[in-house]
Amino acid sequence: MTGHPTAALVPHGLRCEHLAEPLGIDEPAPLLSWRLSSPRRGDAPARHRVRMWAAPANAPADAPAVTGAPVWDTGEVRDAAAVSVRYTGAPLSPRTRYHWEVAVTAEDGATAVAASWFETGMLRPSAWRASWITHDTADLDVVDAPEEGELALADHGLQPAVRLRRTFETSAAPVRARLYVTARGLYEMRLNGRRAGDAELAPGWTDYRDRIDYQVLDVTALVGAGENVLAATLADGWWSGYAGFDPRRLGAHYGAFPQLLAELHLDHADGSHEVIATDATWRTRRSPVRYADLLKGECHDLRRDTPGWDRPAFADTGGWRPAQVTGTDHDLLTASVAPPVRAVEELPARGITRTGGDRHLVDFGQNFAGRVRLTARGLTPGARVVIRHAEALDDDGALYTDNLRTADATDVLIAGDDPEVVFEPRFTYHGFRYAEVTGLQDLDAADITGVVLHNDTPWAGDFACSDPDVERLYQAIRWGQRSNFVSVPTDCPQRDERLGWLADAQVFLPTACLNADVAAFFTGWLREVRGAQSPGGAFTNVAPRLTGVADEGAPGWGDAGVLVPWHLYRVYGDERFLERNLDAMCAWVDHVHRHNPDLVWRHRVGPHFADWLAPEPTPREVVATAYFARSADLTARAAEILGRGDAARRYGTLAGHIRKTFAERFATPGGRISGDTQTAYLLALAFGLLPDDLVPHAAGRLAELVEAAGPALTTGFLGVGLAAPVLDACGRPDLAHALLRRTGPPSWLYPLRHGATTIWERWDGYTEERGFQAAAMNSFNHYALGSIGEWLYQGVAGLSQAPGSTGYRELLIRPRPGTLTWARAAYESVRGTVRTGWARADGELRLEVSVPPGATAIVHVPTGDPGGVRESGVPVAGAAGIQIIGTEPGALLCRVTSGDYRFTAEDPSAAVP
């Protein structure tokens, strides 16, 4: 950090394309962004300046980051609201590191500077030289017969993973080495015996017929002078392994056998450049991984191992064969835009129970997505160690695996000559809390570890409160997100499904955005959503598509193609979420309208899941037409923001007509809605589908239904996330709190009282009276019902943004204390850190608020005496940076500038007799 020595306003958290220092982007006009902090009230940037430099390819690692004239300079830009710019300079060069800095100047003239960098990828398909290569597949058709006395191994019809290697020589160690790599399948790269990169399950899941992501790895430290070996292991993954649950097409949705594409670029100090690419000179062999499948599991047969295969001075003869070239097509290649899946945490065994002579049951204490790392001791050649995984235990204390359906979730180790080995699968993952290990006489807690896998999206939010049960709920919501953000936003990590269901993603997205920075993650997934759209405009129910799975999107599912871009725009303030998706949004609304000209959506509804898994069914036409109106309305708003006036008027008019039709067809003059269900009222109120005079009646009836049920919810996936926010907006936060803290079924806390550590798919996944629900549809790690997380931040803690705000330019701080004694939340927004925290004691309520520079906030201070509110010890009317704008029952309303504030007021609950 450099600049004015007294600068209080400082930029930090620099991002390129919503990523910190990305190593390979293909975006020709990247978005450069920063966040701001300042200890002073009212601080805001008066102007900013962004400059960028290109680093020479042969610059040593310790070379100065900034030298010479910049390749781009915005000049001084006066914009108090800006925290990002789009690059508008000359075309970027491929495979180049660019350093950039932002200088932010406050009104007092003090300037602070922060710097970062990014690297471009190939930028265009023509820059690639590599060929797609694979193993001689005829060699893999030979299935090994079991040796004498050996039990046959079930390989599930899968083929072995393969190893590939290529030797090369360099006269000197390079100053920079980059590996550009992808696969149709899954890959793990190695250089001279060391792993290259830390991405897991790479390159991730896309519809390989439309797009294939590639990664860029910095391998400078792994290449030396003399002989080197670039090596890879290649497995099926989503490309040719099992995926989904369709019995007509369980596997090989995209291809029959995996393929590798890679280029190693070496830059030397003398300016020379070398490229080692995949081609026919590579050598291949079957690996000790007899099969590796995302659903079935992974088997390592160490009797087949060839130690040293990935290092120099290894003779690749015998079973090694020349690689087969399968093509030179590069048109579908694009640099990854999301943080990769990584091993982000390790969980120790919480308990180990011997259940047989060589069988042990391990409890990790947490349901999660990942794998096990096992140190196996006392092995003899050919001995087998089997690891089975499950989320729960049955009534006899054994693994409950019925809900896995056709997913075996079983990993197998077959010992070679070494009596002690570390076994850790690399090309599969499981959803589990418990692992059963068979084949070891002794197993210590230090010998087994749970390895947590998910996309490494940076955590952005945090919440805590005085109720331990609610805090446990919050942690269960976060673990559900972690478990299901594995390459794509999945529905569950354990059974034979793990698909990118659109409705699950859209209902949970508001919570996901508050928990973590998911801008880059959803940028990638939205490519799949658009790519799966039919020529007629229909979004699908899942993305990426699977071969043979092309259902048109159901109401609430297909609508995610509209709702997700809109919400991402509101959270991150990046108009490209709308620019990239608006045409697809329009096509979706046109598709629904074309088949439903009377504006009641009853035709072309796909499988119409309605309010999925709701205890109380809502009429399908009510659900569908409500979403039709919502999508038309948001499409109109998006068009208006992008300056497409004709489209804005067209879809705005359509949305108005649908709202009118909804009220005429489904609402009575007394405000009753067809079906008279909680979800019917929630949709109508949340989406603004009723005339103003009917809103109080509908809100009253919603409250009656909630109270009559327990108070409890009778909603499914589509209604659950709306319940607390709508009740709060209707003046019944007390009911929202009652739902939140309910402990009997159906409720969020009931599963936690019965050992849950993640959110269940069903309210009644397990009950004391009936035990487990039907195994065919009963996940214990499924984030959709966890959409209450949004209200924990926005309602309980009060951290939100105003309805018309984007990118947290205007905050809305409106805590709903209920009967809790304290709560707090923090969120790292695109502008900077937002914090709220309140606590009540001795008849007083204290509220602390932090607003980042350049933002403002409307603060609702809960109080029974608006005239007695103080801030930092002085009457609020005389406090700096505060404007009183009104009152509402039980609160004083203030507008504040950026900075930290400490309000004290009479606790409104103390005024209630």
- Whether pTM > 0.85 for this model: the answer is yes
- Alpha helices (H) along 516-612: 519-532, 560-572, 576-579, 582-595
Instruction: Work out the percent of the chain whose per-residue pLDDT is above 90.
Output: 92
Which pLDDT score, from 0 to 100, does residue 125 have? Answer: 96
Label residue 547 by pLDDT band (50, 70, 90). confident
What is the chain's Cα-based Rg?
29
> Torsion angle, CA of 326/327/330/335, rounded to 10 degrees?
10
> Looking at residues 39-54, what average pLDDT do you find?
95
Catalytic residue positions? Answer: 497, 761
pLDDT, position 93: 97
What is the tens place of the pLDDT at every residue in 452-492?
999 999 999 999 999 999 999 999 999 999 999 999 999 99
pLDDT over threshold 60, residue 145: no
Mean pLDDT of the 376-385 span? 97
pLDDT at 437: 98
- 495 confidence band (pLDDT: 50, 70, 90): very high
Alpha-carbon torsion 395, 425, 154, 133, what sign? positive
**Residue 1: its pLDDT value, please?**
37
Please check the confidence at residue 731 and state whether its pLDDT lies above 80: yes
pLDDT score for 3? 43
Q: What is the pLDDT of residue 284?
A: 97
Tens-place pLDDT, residues 748-800: 999 999 999 999 999 999 998 999 999 999 999 999 999 999 999 999 999 99
Range of lowest pLDDT (57-66, 86-95, 289-298): 57-66
pLDDT at 295 over 70: yes
Contact 483, 789 (CB under 8 A): no
> How far separated are the first and last CA of the chain, in Å rounded?
56
Is-cis flag, bond preceding 247, omega within 30? no
The answer to whether residue 726 scores a pLDDT higher than 80 is yes
Can you tell me the distance from the alpha carbon of 584 to that of 528, in angstroms, rounded to the nearest whole number? 12
Contact 238, 205 (CB under 8 A): yes
Q: Is the pLDDT of residue 217 over 80?
A: yes
Q: What is the pLDDT of residue 140?
A: 63
Is the per-residue pLDDT at 743 higher than 90?
A: yes
Closest CA to 852 of 824, 829, 836: 829
pLDDT at 878: 86
HSE-up (13 A, CA, CB side) for residue 104: 31
- List Cβ neighbours of 108 (8 Å cut-off, separation of 6 or more): none
Cα–Cα distance, 202 to 878 (Å, whole number)? 58
Looking at residue 139, what is its pLDDT? 74
Cβ atoms of residues 41 and 899 within 8 Å: yes
Q: At what angle do helices 678-686 and 695-709 cross, to 10 degrees?
A: 140
CA distance 780 to 701: 32
pLDDT in the model for residue 149: 44
User: How confident is the prediction for the chain on average, in pLDDT?
Assistant: 95
Burial (Cβ within 10 Å: 0-12, 13-18, ≥19) of residue 294: buried
Q: What type of residue is 483?
A: S
Phi (first) and psi of residue 718, to 5 degrees? -80, -30
| Model pLDDT, residue 6 | 61
Q: Please determine, for residue 405, whether its predicted confidence score (pLDDT) is greater than 90.
A: yes
Summarised one tens digit per residue, pLDDT across range 246-287 is: 877 888 999 999 999 999 999 999 999 999 999 999 999 999
For the stretch 412-460, pLDDT in tens is: 999 999 999 999 999 999 999 999 999 999 999 999 999 999 999 999 9
Q: Distance between CA 331 and CA 323 in Å, rounded? A: 22
Mean pLDDT within 48-77: 91
